Structure 1
Amino acid sequence: MRKNFFESHYREKGKAYDNIDFPADRKYGQGSNIADVTSSFMLLLGIYFPSVTGIMAGSNRSGDLTNPQKSIPMGTILAITMTSLVYLSSPLLFAAICDGSVMRDKFGESYGGILLVAAFAWPHFWVILIGSCLSTIGAGLQSLTGAPRLLQAIAQDNVMPFLDVFKVITKRGEPLRAQLLCYGIAQLGILIASIDYLTPLITMFFLMCYGFVNLATMLNGFLKEPSWRPRFRFYHWFLSFVGLCLCIALMFISSWYYTIVAWALAFAIYKYIEFRGASKEWGDATRGLQMSTAKEAILKLGNKPIHTKNWRPQILVYLPLDENFQARHDRLLDLVYQLKAGHGLTLVASILEGDIIDRRNDMIAAKAHLSDLIQEHRIKGLAEVLVASTIDEGMKNMAQCAGLGNLRHNTLMVSYPEDWRVDCKSSGSKLSKFISTLRAAQACDIAMLVPKGIDSFPLSKGNQMIGNVDVWCIVHDGGLLLLTSYLLMRNRVWRKCHLRIFVVATEEDDIVNLKKDMTKFLYDLRINASVEVVAMSTADISAYVAQRTASIEQRRALLMQMKISTVEARCDPQLIVDQHRKPSSADINPADIVKSNCSIDSHKLLPAISATSTESSDQSPDHATNVTNTSSSDSASKEDTKPSNLKPDTESNDKPISNHSHHCTVSFATGSNVAVSESDKSTNPKENDANSELNRGINEFTFSPSNPLTKLVQKAAREAGSKEEHLLNKAHPGRITRTQRRLHCAVRLNELLRTHSSESDLVIVNMPGPSRTLGSEYYYMDYIETLTDGLPRILLVRGTGREVITAFSE
């Protein structure tokens, strides 16, 4: 036992297996037993393993079985039992009747050149020779009939398109072409002329077959798919996992280089099927694993806010379709592809007007067309079509319900309506649809990407742009401007462009230090760009001042909620701007005024607001405030604006404020409504008409948030019990007059944009938010048109104020 089990009997190539005690004797026809290959356990295992296969012969012909659900389990178990008993008993029986060196004589040189098993046969050695020959021919014929049919079935299922030529059968139902292919492969194996080199390769195929069967069983059993209902109950997924591990281990034990080649071939076939796409969906176990993994990942993400370091644009693209379900602005998809560096989830959606019951087939056809467009533009995203009563309702529903959990879409991309003035009076016009979309996105805290002149944007497969990409940071919106430009610059189309950052500051700001700090900030963000600071007056950026002021407290609260460290908070771009900005009247916090218990004298408050309104009337176009004083002098107005006019008086807080001056007219417009104090109405109808015309001129410039002073006057008027009167009808949609008061800031900004960026390939600029009040939609669009006039390719960006970019990656 010690000699047989603890001594190595493997020989290198050219060494003899001769037994020293019984040397070969030529007199009896014996020769030396020379090893023709270097033997080892791994090599012999690979050679011996194919002889114990064939346990799945019944499964391969399951189509011919009467009751495969019963026959396959019982037949496979019996086959495994019988082959295990026969083939495991053979080495023991041979070792009991002959010496080890004799069994290692491959060609029988030591005993006359005959088969060893035939030498012990009874009654004659020809019994073994004839039986071996018939068994070999039978196994070959079985393989020659089973393999071609299996190949023909694979080709017929269109799993791999290049195998279509082998799905043809003859009149008698024989797969002749597949038989010829299998015959050619068998001839190649015969031409090798060495079983020792061929059997390890055959072992790979058998082990891979058994391994994938165990893998499929393990996945279905572990995932507990509803469709997994096996008739055989005595199994567990862990046993299949052990079988898979054993198959992989045996593959590496028998031949590690054959194993690598076999797995590479299997992976190539899988990727080919995935790339070309099978014509039929068989519901494989890997799809169930993907679904289970996706579900667990979404549940683990939960509803907790995504940290700035993990934020990425999940783009919801609204792509309108015409009556033939053709995309009107398919270049939106090219722009989405150019933003693919964000690695977010993209959803290309469209909305059909009508009822889902009536337009179900149209919805399916439209969704199929969107899916084709997604594949054509190489976008990693999904398609969805919603049927709603109106486009406005559909966009509201889409903005609220698109996405799951933290995979909810945070960015909406729509094309700018170039012909919005056409039929803008109707409720279903492009103007109303666009404004409704902006308001829905604003209400759902979704950022906006609005390309203007989308037809002039470059194609994804077009030529590279080599000019400038200009980013105009009029107000910081959380870094979406910088992130969008960075993602575009990583695409092939924009990679050769030069990125320029224009920071808009007020005239009171420290421009030199602001430029220095912003350059350092971009360096910390690892964004290669040049910085330019453009100085403007506060009135010139009035549409953005209130937005910046209102978002400061929200951003500070967000930084505290996200537990940003002090060092990381210093990398906030808005903080950099605020450090170099001197306080102005536009930065007044209305809470500071309301919380101070002051007795407000109407004789002093209203003239104070009158003096302020001339400076801030252009700063808050959404809720304009107009105060005219016909008797007070300029000096008196200036004196009344001093803080000493606001005296604390707790007793007068609850008393209504009445206006005792008949020389002051207070009006404040909210969209199309203007409230006028009853006591201030002039008895002269002409004077009232003049005031109405003045109020109308102010109201036409209404679309940005109201300033604190306006809110204070509104509160004072409400406490005084004044009745609101509808003095202004909705703005006439066809009216395109542009007074200096209404569009001063847009004209001034447009002058700067055209001066610095008229020849740039792309201009990215902040988009002011739409008004929440009705009646100002036309003037908001008029403002955008004036702002972007003369710029052929521009991307309007509106963030939510949430930080989306940081200098820290870990």
Structure 2
Amino acid sequence: MRGESGRAGFYNLAVVGDLIWEGECAMQVAFLFMEKPAQKFGTFGGVFVPNVLTILGVILFLRSGWVVGNAGLTDALLMLCLANAVTFISALSLSAIATNTKAQGGGAYFLISRSLGWEFGGAIGLPLYLAQAISVAFYVVGFTESVQYLFPDLDARVFSLGTLGAITVVAWIGASVAVKAQYVILATLAVSLASFFIGFQISDGWEARMEPGYEEGQNFWSVFAIFFPAVTGIMSGVSMSGDLKDPTRSIPRGTLWAVAFTFFVYVLQLIWLAMGSNRDALVGDALVMQTLSVFPPLIIAGLWAATLSSALASLVAAPRTMQALAKDRVVPRFLSKGHGASNEPRIALVLSAGISVICVWVGDLNLIAPLISMFFLATYGAVNLVAALESWTSNPTYRPTFKVHWLVSLVGAIACFGIMLLLNPLATVLAVALIVTAYTILARRAYRTAWGDMRSGFWFAVACMGLLKLYASRQHQRNWRPAILVLMSNLKQNNQLLRFSRYLEANKGVLFLSHIILGDWKTSNDRQKALTRQIDDRILEERMSAFSKVVIAKDFEQGVTSLLQGAGLGNLQPNTLMIEWGSGWLRDHDFPHTVHQALEMEANLIVYSKAKEPDSHLYSVIDVWWSARANGSMMITLAHLLQSNQAWQESRIRILRIIRDEGGREAAEAGMAELLKDSRIEVEPVIVVSKDPPLESIARESARSAVTFVGVSVRTLEEEAGPLSSYAPLVDSVQGHLFLTKNWHDLEL
């Protein structure tokens, strides 16, 4: 048994190592982002070796004994199988994605961003970078404490900073150093493990160590949470695809063989530890492997190889992740600047080293370690999610040579996020909060990527399934939702028309922003494309729930009928035509006949007249003038949709009805009460007694109301002075927003 100071020092290191996402940080590595050598690697050197070096690291040397001492061999092997099942599924998903997409600089960030999009990739990439940069400090501290075991009086902080400086110099020279060093590191680890396995002897009482003997405060899941990071780290070979002789063959084989080989190593190690040492030594001595080794110094050599290679690898990986993020403008572009033929990211290297210096100087990394674990688990979860969604959506361009069923990948994603909660619920919340914040910020920037991602495929699959379900469902008037075809006469204006069309849609339906080009197809084709792009830009800029539709027609009637017939899909068709009062379309000689045709096609009509005074100068009232039942019901629904917007929530709705004499008030009020009972909308009924023409009464009562809904008659469409000309005095008198409406059910009125 070792001295107390050495045991305490390494136990502290073990605590630090408990929650380090050792696998990913270890070799996501120089091998992920190294400059491309002229030689092409095979499966062994390009994939298998980097992955094995990633998985067999610090926790192998410092925590496996503690796990066996607490869990016993039976539970320890169960933990290994559970953890490796998650790693194996993630390896399957990774193989599928890697054989469909040629990975470039950025590793996991590249894969996720090119599949789930720039925003999601950036949201994962930023925490991933921080985890890599901070992990450098973890491994430096691990190396320092191993040296302290031999030199107890060593100043840990000074030595750690010196070690970090030396590693930074090596990283400054270039990532090619790591390529040359990987075989030396692998040989050192192999000799170290051989020394451990050869020195095996069965200890008395090994039968008792088959069963668990958890310390106070520990249980199966708490120990599993500590052990899980040891068996991860399968990203190393994926970015080697450009340097492999046959990437589609090497990545799946090399990754899966690495998972299988390291699983076999861990199985043997756990058995050796359980049968070769007593429980007190397993729990109390972090370097229990030394006591079982035929040549103990080789265990130290293996530990040093694991810590130094992991620290160097992380310091090479972090700047390259930052460089990839900067190239995509997730972070300032100057951080992407490279040096030399291999494009070494030295500015990002200095930034990464600075973060590591701060962490080394602070010293207490136990609070940060769980958060780092969350970031890397989130990365694996995202990879599984990408594979599941890509497979489920069945994008034609998703053709991996290594195929995995989407359900398998989905189980892997759920398992990753479940393990995050097992590791540390608070750290999980913090990690998710940071990722969501980053995603929100990036999404608001609305950056347009230069690559295609699978989101369009995902939404296509969802939309297709939804449209088919909608098409098969029974349509009923009570399920009516606004699908408004907004006919825009001037694309550079119509601000109020668009504003109120969005109010009426109220996130409950959909808008079709449309325009008609009168002319010949051959001469108007380019203009149609330009106007479509213009409308699309406006939709994206103003974040509207809308589609664009620009048609070329020989006349207005053909244009409207083409829009009504071709703007939607299945049952998702425009059900309301909205035009602005005063637009050129209203004065078109085909307008009356066109509206008749639209009503016969079961589309409602809304003619909007914008307010003449600011909303703040008007009464906060929405007036609905009741007329025919179908038209009145539609206006009440539109008023309710308008009121559901935040800008109109404080406005009250009035339902007004005109009667000729006071004697009819009681019957009118009873009818209104029955109507309002059916509408289930909080409104104020108003009976207006007047013998004046109806439009004059409406103009007088609603002169200063913020919004007024008025039904129109079909016959007014064909008035001699022009369509709806009898409503012109009303439009002039009403100072607020006016909607002239016609429900297609009242076509005969």
1:487 is aligned to: 641
Superposition map of 1:290-305 within 5 A: 290-302=459-471
Inter-partner Cα distance in structure 1 for 2:624 and 2:667: 21
Residues 644-685 of structure 1 show CA distances to partners (whole Å, capped at 9, x for unaligned) of xxxxxxxxxxxxxxxxxxxxxxxxxxxxxxxxxxxxxxxxxx
SS of match in other structure, 1:54: coil
Query: Within the alignment, does 1:221 sit opposite 2:391 as a pair?
Result: yes
Superposition map of 1:538-687 within 5 A: none
Deviation of 1:769 after TM superposition, in Å, equals 1.4
Inter-partner Cα distance in structure 1 for 2:219 and 2:356: 27
SS of match in other structure, 1:384: strand
2:431 is aligned to: 262
Residues 80-138 of structure 1 show CA distances to partners (whole Å, capped at 9, x for unaligned) of 1222122232121122221111121146xxxxxxx333344344x33332332233211
1:121 is aligned to: 293
Residues 701-724 of structure 1 show CA distances to partners (whole Å, capped at 9, x for unaligned) of xxxxxxxxxxxxxxxxxxxxxxxx
> Contact conserved, 1:170 with 1:176, CA < 8 A, in 2?
yes
Deviation of 1:280 after TM superposition, in Å, equals 1.0
Deviation of 1:514 after TM superposition, in Å, equals 1.5
Superposition map of 1:96-107 within 5 A: 96-106=275-285
Query: Within the alignment, does 1:752 sit opposite 2:697 as a pair?
Result: yes
1:731 is aligned to: none
> Contact conserved, 2:387 with 2:406, CA < 8 A, in 1?
yes
Aligned residue type for 1:753: I
Which of 508, 513, 527 pairs up with 1:348? 513
Which moved further from structure 2: 432-441 or 394-403?
A: 432-441
Q: Which has the higher contact order (CA 8 A, sep 6+)?
A: 2
Inter-partner Cα distance in structure 2 for 1:71 and 1:355: 57
1:312 is aligned to: 481
2:440 is aligned to: 271
Query: Within the alignment, does 1:439 sit opposite 2:592 as a pair?
Result: no
> Contact conserved, 1:50 with 1:202, CA < 8 A, in 2?
no
1:729 is aligned to: none
Query: Within the alignment, does 1:380 sit opposite 2:534 as a pair?
Result: no
1:790 is aligned to: 733
> Contact conserved, 2:467 with 2:571, CA < 8 A, in 1?
yes
> Contact conserved, 1:478 with 1:801, CA < 8 A, in 2?
no
Inter-partner Cα distance in structure 1 for 2:388 and 2:278: 44
Aligned residue type for 1:60: S
Inter-partner Cα distance in structure 2 for 1:449 and 1:753: 18
> Contact conserved, 2:622 with 2:639, CA < 8 A, in 1?
no
SS of match in other structure, 2:375: helix
Inter-partner Cα distance in structure 1 for 2:401 and 2:583: 64
Deviation of 1:518 after TM superposition, in Å, equals 0.3
> Contact conserved, 1:118 with 1:128, CA < 8 A, in 2?
yes
Inter-partner Cα distance in structure 1 for 2:626 and 2:421: 60
Aligned residue type for 2:256: I
> Contact conserved, 2:626 with 2:655, CA < 8 A, in 1?
yes
Q: 1:357 to 1:41 in 2, by over 3 A?
A: farther
Aligned residue type for 1:533: I
Residues 320-359 of structure 1 show CA distances to partners (whole Å, capped at 9, x for unaligned) of 23xxxx4342210111122243611111111222334433
Residues 157-195 of structure 1 show CA distances to partners (whole Å, capped at 9, x for unaligned) of 23xx34534222234511123223333444455456467
Residues 478-501 of structure 1 show CA distances to partners (whole Å, capped at 9, x for unaligned) of 511111222223334444444332
Query: Within the alignment, does 1:519 sit opposite 2:673 as a pair?
Result: yes
Superposition map of 1:170-319 within 5 A: 170-171=339-340, 173-187=343-357, 189-191=359-361, 193=363, 199-233=369-403, 235-280=404-449, 282-302=451-471, 306-319=475-488
Which of 530, 534, 538 pairs up with 1:369? 534
> Contact conserved, 2:393 with 2:461, CA < 8 A, in 1?
yes
Q: 1:301 to 1:314 in 2, by over 3 A?
A: same
- Identical-residue share of aligned pairs (%): 27
* Unpaired segments ≥5 residues, structure 2: 1-205
Deviation of 1:468 after TM superposition, in Å, equals 5.9
2:102 is aligned to: none
Give the structure with the larger helix fraction: 2
> Contact conserved, 1:474 with 1:504, CA < 8 A, in 2?
no
1:765 is aligned to: 710
> Contact conserved, 1:155 with 1:167, CA < 8 A, in 2?
yes
Residues 388-408 of structure 1 show CA distances to partners (whole Å, capped at 9, x for unaligned) of 223332112112222122221
Q: 1:190 to 1:535 in 2, by over 3 A?
A: same
> Contact conserved, 1:770 with 1:780, CA < 8 A, in 2?
no
User: TM-score scaled to structure 1, two decimals?
Assistant: 0.61
Inter-partner Cα distance in structure 2 for 1:310 and 1:766: 22
Q: 1:496 to 1:129 in 2, by over 3 A?
A: closer
Q: 1:468 to 1:157 in 2, by over 3 A?
A: closer
> Contact conserved, 1:470 with 1:757, CA < 8 A, in 2?
no
User: TM-score scaled to structure 2, two decimals?
Assistant: 0.65
Deviation of 1:787 after TM superposition, in Å, equals 5.2
Which of 653, 657, 673 pairs up with 1:499? 653
Superposition map of 1:35-54 within 5 A: 39-54=218-233
Aligned residue type for 2:681: I
> Contact conserved, 1:519 with 1:530, CA < 8 A, in 2?
no
> Contact conserved, 2:394 with 2:457, CA < 8 A, in 1?
no
> Contact conserved, 2:517 with 2:551, CA < 8 A, in 1?
yes
Superposition map of 1:14-29 within 5 A: none
Residues 30-77 of structure 1 show CA distances to partners (whole Å, capped at 9, x for unaligned) of xxxxxxxxx444343333333323322111343433432222112111
Inter-partner Cα distance in structure 2 for 1:332 and 1:377: 14
Deviation of 1:459 after TM superposition, in Å, equals 10
Inter-partner Cα distance in structure 2 for 1:410 and 1:63: 53
Deviation of 1:5 after TM superposition, in Å, equals 4.1
Deviation of 1:251 after TM superposition, in Å, equals 2.2
> Contact conserved, 1:465 with 1:493, CA < 8 A, in 2?
no
Q: 1:350 to 1:460 in 2, by over 3 A?
A: farther
> Contact conserved, 1:468 with 1:498, CA < 8 A, in 2?
yes
Inter-partner Cα distance in structure 2 for 1:188 and 1:447: 66
Query: Within the alignment, does 1:412 sit opposite 2:581 as a pair?
Result: no
Deviation of 1:246 after TM superposition, in Å, equals 2.8
Residues 748-799 of structure 1 show CA distances to partners (whole Å, capped at 9, x for unaligned) of 2333223322333333211111579xx8554544323355453344534333
SS of match in other structure, 1:407: coil
Q: 1:374 to 1:316 in 2, by over 3 A?
A: same
Which moved further from structure 2: 265-274 or 339-348?
A: 265-274
Inter-partner Cα distance in structure 1 for 2:359 and 2:219: 23
Query: Within the alignment, does 1:393 sit opposite 2:558 as a pair?
Result: yes
Inter-partner Cα distance in structure 2 for 1:327 and 1:200: 53
Q: 1:141 to 1:313 in 2, by over 3 A?
A: same
1:327 is aligned to: 492
SS of match in other structure, 1:369: helix
Superposition map of 1:23-102 within 5 A: 39-102=218-281
Residues 451-471 of structure 1 show CA distances to partners (whole Å, capped at 9, x for unaligned) of 13xxx4389998886356353
Inter-partner Cα distance in structure 2 for 1:191 and 1:47: 25
Deviation of 1:268 after TM superposition, in Å, equals 3.1
Q: 1:244 to 1:476 in 2, by over 3 A?
A: closer
SS of match in other structure, 1:432: coil
Query: Within the alignment, does 1:148 sit opposite 2:319 as a pair?
Result: yes
Which moved further from structure 2: 752-761 or 402-411?
A: 752-761
Q: 1:513 to 1:301 in 2, by over 3 A?
A: same
Inter-partner Cα distance in structure 2 for 1:207 and 1:509: 76
Aligned residue type for 2:589: S
Q: Please provide the CA RMSD for this pair.
A: 3.3
Which of 145, 152, 157 pairs up with 2:328? 157
Which moved further from structure 2: 476-485 or 182-191?
A: 182-191
Query: Within the alignment, does 1:530 sit opposite 2:662 as a pair?
Result: no
> Contact conserved, 2:627 with 2:711, CA < 8 A, in 1?
yes
SS of match in other structure, 2:216: coil
Inter-partner Cα distance in structure 2 for 1:798 and 1:513: 26
